[in-house]
Amino acid sequence: MECQRMTGIWYVAERTPSWLNTLKQLFESTPSAAVGEIGLDKGSRGKQVPFTEQLQVFEQQLNLAKHLGKPASVHCVRAFGDLLQILQRMGPFPAGIILHSYMGSAEMVPEFAKLGSYFSFSGFLMSMEARKAKRILEKVPLERILLETDAPDALPMSKLDSLYLVEGDSSLEQLQVQQGISTSNSAATLPDTVRDASALPKGTLNHPANILNVLTYVASLMEMTTEDLAEVSYQNAVRLFSFEDRSSC
């Protein structure tokens, strides 16, 4: 299984009249690519684009993913009710929907799962009350759980001696001067005044190696060993991304 960056970021507000045809052509030339990240955002950044436009573009992208038989990775911020209604109307999605960095309610999990959704958890889950996070995880079918870092976002709220930081992260420069923090490979050697990620500047970059922190936290809430959860999430990812090319259909 090979991961590749495809085309970078497309902003809804900057789309051209031919954007959908261009996207179709890109999938024809790169049949191994999945769809996404696409989605809905009612957060501060999402408010820059009218929600009606977000809905229109999102539904067209979902239609394309379903037609091509490809999984779609979905970004959703404060719009899970809207998302569920859309998936119920357009679904199910046999190829899979990845609910990236899932932060929706526990009650919605069974409804999303019926439609073909997978639930991917990142360091953002650690910002949620542990009891609430545990209730969500209890509802997720084991064969539908995925893990991610969402790097460079979603730095896990862990002890710093367990985290990897990004070398050259500009948000740490001032703290480096003040506290003598080294970001060459890890945060293993730190002054006593800085002991967890909450002491780092907002926007500190996340490192892909911090997937271990996500794994450890989720496994603890699920009362599983890290080895078992790692194997389950790996097999789920292999199954999800082992789709056949249908771009010529």
User: Are 173 and 70 within one domain?
Assistant: no
Q: Does 207 show up as a binding residue in the annotation?
A: no
pLDDT tier at 172, thresholds 50, 70, 90 = confident
| Domain housing 68 | 12-150+208-241
User: Are 23 and 142 within one domain?
Assistant: yes
Structure confidence at residue 185 (pLDDT): 45
248 is a domain residue: no
The tokens describing 6, both together, are 């495809």
Domain with 123 in it: what CATH number? 3.20.20.140
* Cβ contacts of 196 within 8 Å, gap of 6 or more: 157, 158, 159, 160
Q: Are 172 and 203 in contact (CB under 8 A)?
A: no
User: Are 35 and 59 within one domain?
Assistant: yes
Instruction: List b or e across 112-134, with b for residues whose CB sees 16 or more CB atoms inside 10 angstroms.
Output: bbebbbbbbbbbbbbeeeeeebb
Q: How far is Cα 123 from Cα 209, in angstroms, rounded to an integer? A: 12
Tokens 């019926």 identify what position? Answer: 114
User: Are 195 and 212 within one domain?
Assistant: no
Tens digits of residue pLDDT in 149-170: 999 999 999 998 899 989 888 8
Q: Does 228 show up as a binding residue in the annotation?
A: no
User: Are 97 and 184 within one domain?
Assistant: no
Instruction: Give the helix, strand, coil percentages of the chain, each rounded to 5.
Output: 45, 10, 45
Least confident window among 1-5, 63-67, 156-160, 235-239: 1-5
Q: How far is CA 125 from CA 65, 107, 133, 194, in A?
A: 27, 16, 7, 22
pTM of the full predicted structure? 0.89
User: Are 124 and 182 within one domain?
Assistant: no
Q: Does 41 show up as a binding residue in the annotation?
A: no
Q: Are 96 and 117 in contact (CB under 8 A)?
A: yes
Q: Are 236 and 118 in contact (CB under 8 A)?
A: yes
Q: Does 148 show up as a binding residue in the annotation?
A: no
- Angle at CA of residue 205, ends 202 and 208, nearest 5°: 145
1 is a domain residue: no
Structure confidence at residue 2 (pLDDT): 53
pLDDT at 93 over 80: yes
User: Are 82 and 130 within one domain?
Assistant: yes
pLDDT at 183 over 50: no
User: Are 77 and 189 within one domain?
Assistant: no
User: Are 39 and 76 within one domain?
Assistant: yes
User: Are 95 and 181 within one domain?
Assistant: no
User: Are 163 and 74 within one domain?
Assistant: no
User: Are 107 and 166 within one domain?
Assistant: no
| Mean pLDDT calculated for residue range 78-92 | 98
| Mean pLDDT calculated for residue range 118-147 | 98
| Domain count within the chain | 2
